[in-house]
Amino acid sequence: MSDDKSSFAELDALTTEQLREKAFDRAQEHRDVGFFWDLIKHLRGGGEIGSDDGSAGGLGESITGVIDVVNELLGHHDSDLEPLLRARYIDYLQS
């Protein structure tokens, strides 16, 4: 593991909101639409977004548009999804 990556224990000690902010910042910096699309697929209402072939379709022309959609869906997620979201954020930050 490189020096710029946090350990699992360091990341696990953060709140879910702190993990979300770190993961979103990293994904936005790297323009990683795939990370956001993966989140969308797991959030309530996310299945209604995209095209018939499972791609992001007309989700948005910019990374900012994608982030806006994810933030909107996160505002409606069930607390049951929090462990999944935490695991996804930590995995992404360690990759």
Sign of CA dihedral 94, 69, 85, 10: positive
Question: Residue ranges of the domains in the chain?
Answer: 8-49+61-94
Q: How far apart are CA 6 and CA 46, in angstroms?
A: 29
CA 26 to CA 28: how far, in whole Å? 5
Q: What is the pLDDT along the chain (95 residues), one digit of tens a residue?
A: 444 678 999 999 999 999 999 999 999 999 998 999 888 887 766 555 554 444 555 555 577 888 888 888 887 666 788 999 999 999 999 99
What's the CA gap between 68 and 71, in Å, rounded?
5
Rounded to whole angstroms, the Cα distance separating 12 from 72 reads: 24
